[in-house]
Amino acid sequence: MAVRLEDRQVRELPVYLFTGFLGGGKTTFIQDTLNSPDFDPEVPTLLLVCEEGEVEYDISAFASPENVFVEYIDDEADLTRMALQKLESKYRFDRILVEYNGMWMLQSLFASLPPNWIVAQEMLFVDATTFLMYNQNMRQLCFDKMQTAELVVFNRCTKGFDKMPFHKEVRVANRRSQILYEYGPYDVEPDDIEDPLPFDKTQSKITISDDDYAEWYRDINENEDDYEGKTLTLKGRVAMAEDLSTKGRFAFGRHVMTCCVEDITFMGLACTGYSPEKLENGGKIYRLWFMKIEREKQSRRGGWNFPIGIGIGIGGGHHHGPWIGVGW
C-alpha cells in the first residue's frame, strides 16, 4: 500500500490554549468560536476539555460538528504525552483547542505536549468579580496563568470600575500581554494604561536599583535590542554552572521571587570576557556593558567574545540573546 509523504512526516499541529478558573468564560468563548463560520469550520479540530464548567458544550451548534472531536481529561495524572499521542492515532485533526483546568499548573500541560503540538496562542479568561480574591488566596495559580498569556480578558466588568488593580497584577507577571475588559456582549474595552519603567532605558548609561532588578530583567528579556551598546550599573552575584564551564563564562544575576517564597529563583544573564575566578567578592565594583552580537566579534582588548544566549529565567533561551561583558 502506498503511503502519502505527509503521513510519513511529523505534522506540526497548532494548539490554542484557553486558561482560567471556573466561571471565567472559557467554555462560552470556545463555543462561540466553533459556532462561527469564520473559524474555518472545515478544518478537523480536536477539542480537549480538562474542566467541565457551569456551561456545557452544545456540539450540535458548532458550524461543522462532524469536524470537531471532543475528548475529556478529568484527572491531571491522565494528562500525559502518551495519552495525547494516542489521540493522534484515534482521530485525524489539524488543530487543537484546549480548555485547561484553572487548578492545574501549566507546566503539567507543557511537559506533556507532543513535540509537534505547538502552542500558537494562549488566552486567559477571568471573572473580574472574583479575580482579586482569587489572586490573593491562590496567588501562585493566578500568576502561573498570567505570565505566559498573550491575551487576558476580564469579563463581567462594570462601567467606571477601577482598572488599575487588575492592570497591575497582570503587568507584574507579564508586560507583553494584551488586556481587554468586557462589559457585555460586543462591549469590550482595550486596556490603555501606560507602564513607564522605573528607569530611563533611552540613556546610554542606565542605573538599576535593587528594587528594580526584577522589572529590568523581564524587560531586557523582552526588549533586548533596546539595551544594545548600553552601560548598566547594577548589583548582582556571579554564579557558575556546568553548562558555563568554558573559561571566562559565568552567570550574573540575582535571586527573584515572582509570586511566593517557594518559587525564589536565580535569574541572570550569561557573561563572558573576564575570568570569574578574578572577580572579588564584594570588594570591587565592576562595570558591565550590554551587547547583542550575531557572530564572534573581536573585543577592544584583543580577545574574542562569543555570543551566549539566556539560559536562565523568564523568556527561555535565545540563540543570540542578551550578553554582558565585564569591563575594566
The per-residue DSSP string of 155-219 comes to: ES--TT---HHHHHHHHHH-SS-EEEEEEETTEEEE-------SS-TTSSEEE--GGGHHHHHHH
Segment 155-170, tens digit of pLDDT: 999 999 999 999 999 9
Q: Using only C-alpha atoms, what is the Rg of the chain?
A: 23
Q: Which three cell numbers stand for residue 115?
A: 513535540
**Closest Cα partner for 84 from 127, 37, 116?**
116
Q: What would be the CATH architecture of the domain defined by 10-190?
A: 3-Layer(aba) Sandwich (3.40)
**Closest Cα partner for 36 from 17, 56, 64, 8?**
64
Q: Which three cell numbers stand for residue 110?
A: 507543557
Placement of cell 542605573 in the chain:
207
Q: For CATH 3.40.50.300, list the domain ranges present in the chain.
A: 10-190
Q: Which three cell numbers stand for residue 190?
A: 482595550
Sheet containing strand 250-256, edge to edge, reads: 205-207, 231-233, 288-291, 323-326, 265-272, 250-256, 237-239
Query: How high is the pLDDT of residue 5?
Result: 44
On the question of pLDDT at 271 being above 80, the answer is no
Higher-pLDDT residue of 228, 124: 124
**Closest Cα partner for 173 from 214, 130, 132?**
214
Find the mean pLDDT for residues 85-107.
Answer: 96
pTM of model > 0.85: no
CA–CA separation, 13 and 96 (whole Å): 7
Classify residue 12 by its DSSP letter.
P
Query: How high is the pLDDT of residue 317?
Result: 31
On the 0-12 / 13-18 / 19+ scale of CB atoms within 10 A, 34 is buried
